[in-house]
C-alpha cells in the first residue's frame, strides 16, 4: 500500500516507471517506423528514456534499502507495483498517436525535470539536470513533428486530431496530486504537480493551435491514476509479459 512505503521511494518509482514504460512502448517501433530516420529517432528517444529509468530506479532501490537493483525493480515487479501514469502504457496506435503521446509527455517531462533539478535531494537534482537536457531535445523533435503532421495533409491532420481526442484526457492525469506528491513537494524534493499545469497548458495549447488541431471540449480527466498503483489499464500487464519474460523464465540472466 502506498501509505506504508517511503514517499521518496514512491516518488522515484513514479519517475522511473513513467520513463521505463514509455521507453518500452517507443522501442516497439524499432524496425517498424514509416521511414528510417523516424525509426532511428524513436529508438534513440527510447534509449534516452531507458537511460533515465536506470538512474531513477537505481536510486529508488537504494532509498528502499532492500538491496533491489534497477533491473530487479524493472523486471521482477508485478503490474500492481508499477507507478506509471496510464498515458505511457497505452498502445502505440498509429505513428501519429505515438508522436502525440510523446509530445504531451515530453513537455511535462522537461518541465518536471527542470523543477527537479532544484530538488533539495542532491541525487535527484543531479539526475534531473542531466535528463532535462535530453528531454528538451525530445520536445524539439516531437513538437516539430506534431506541427508538421497536424498542419500537413488532410489525412495526417485527421489522424493527429483523432490522437489528440484519445490522449488529451489521459494527459490531465500528469497533474493529479496525492498525499505522496504533497509530502514530497512540502519537503522540496519534487515540484507540486499542479504547479506545472498552467505552464504546460499554455505551451501545449500554443503548439496545438499552430498544428491547426483543436483541443477536445471535454474538460474531464481520468479520476484515477496509475501513479498510486491502484489502477492500471489492461495494457500494462501485456507490456510486462513481453518486457519481463526472459528474467521470469531464466532468473538471474545477465547481458
Q: Which is nearer to other proteins, 112 or 225 (CB)?
A: 112
Contact call for residues 240 and 79 (beta carbons, < 8 A): yes
Least separation in angstroms between CB 27 and other proteins: 11
Least separation in angstroms between CB 216 and other proteins: 29
Q: Which is nearer to other proteins, 38 or 64 (CB)?
A: 38
Q: Which is nearer to other proteins, 84 or 142 (CB)?
A: 142
Q: Which is nearer to other proteins, 74 or 176 (CB)?
A: 74
* Best CA proximity match to 193, nearest among 18, 32, 59: 18
Q: Which is nearer to other proteins, 2 or 44 (CB)?
A: 44
Least separation in angstroms between CB 99 and other proteins: 13
- In this structure, the number of other CB atoms found within 10 A of the CB of residue 23 comes to 21
C-alpha cell at position 68: 533491489
Least separation in angstroms between CB 46 and other proteins: 8
Q: Which is nearer to other proteins, 47 or 215 (CB)?
A: 47
Contact call for residues 13 and 73 (beta carbons, < 8 A): yes
Contact call for residues 138 and 106 (beta carbons, < 8 A): yes
Least separation in angstroms between CB 38 and other proteins: 7
Q: Which is nearer to other proteins, 35 or 249 (CB)?
A: 35
94, 112, 52, 17 alpha-carbon torsion, rounded to 10°: -70
Least separation in angstroms between CB 17 and other proteins: 16
Least separation in angstroms between CB 44 and other proteins: 4
Whole-angstrom distance, CA of residue 212 vs CA of residue 112: 26
Whole-angstrom distance, CA of residue 25 vs CA of residue 88: 8
Alpha helices in the chain (DSSP H): 7-27, 36-64, 70-75, 86-89, 95-116, 122-150, 154-171, 179-186, 193-210, 234-249
Q: Which residues bind other proteins (CB under 8 A)?
A: 37-38, 40-41, 43-45, 47-52, 54-55, 125-127, 129-131, 133-134, 137, 140-141
SS3 assignment, position 250 = coil
Instruction: Provide the terminal-to-terminal Cα distance of the chain, rounded to the nearest Å.
Output: 33
The CA-atom distances, in angstroms, between 246 and each of 159, 240, 255 are 35, 11, 11
Amino acid at each position: 500500500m502506498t501509505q506504508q512505503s517511503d514517499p521518496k521511494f514512491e516518488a522515484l518509482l513514479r519517475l522511473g516507471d513513467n520513463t521505463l514504460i514509455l521507453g518500452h512502448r517507443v522501442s516497439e517501433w524499432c524496425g517498424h517506423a514509416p521511414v528510417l530516420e523516424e525509426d532511428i529517432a524513436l529508438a534513440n528517444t527510447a534509449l534516452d528514456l531507458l537511460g533515465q529509468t536506470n538512474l531513477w530506479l537505481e536510486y529508488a532501490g537504494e532509498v528502499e534499502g532492500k538491496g533491489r537493483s534497477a533491473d530487479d525493480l524493472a523486471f521482477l515487479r508485478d503490474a500492481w507495483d508499477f507507478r506509471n501514469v496510464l498515458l505511457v502504457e497505452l498502445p502505440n496506435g498509429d505513428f501519429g498517436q505515438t508522436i502525440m503521446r510523446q509530445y504531451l509527455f515530453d513537455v511535462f517531462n522537461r518541465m518536471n525535470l527542470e523543477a527537479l533539478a532544484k530538488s533539495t535531494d542532491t541525487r535527484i537534482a543531479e539526475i534531473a539536470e542531466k535528463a532535462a537536457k535530453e528531454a528538451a531535445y525530445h520536445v524539439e523533435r516531437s513538437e516539430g513533428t506534431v506541427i508538421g503532421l497536424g498542419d500537413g495533409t488532410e489525412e495526417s491532420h485527421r489522424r493527429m486530431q483523432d490522437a489528440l481526442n484519445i490522449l488529451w484526457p489521459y494527459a490531465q492525469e500528469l497533474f493529479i496530486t496525492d498525499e505522496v506528491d504533497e509530502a514530497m513537494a512540502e519537503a522540496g524534493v519534487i515540484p507540486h504537480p499542479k504547479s506545472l499545469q498552467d505552464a504546460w497548458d499554455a505551451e501545449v495549447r500554443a503548439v496545438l493551435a499552430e498544428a491547426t488541431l483543436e483541443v477536445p471540449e471535454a474538460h474531464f480527466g481520468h479520476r484515477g491514476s496509475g501513479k498510486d498503483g491502484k489502477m492500471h489499464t489492461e495494457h500494462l500487464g501485456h507490456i510486462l509479459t513481453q518486457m519481463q519474460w526472459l528474467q521470469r523464465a531464466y532468473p538471474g540472466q545477465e547481458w
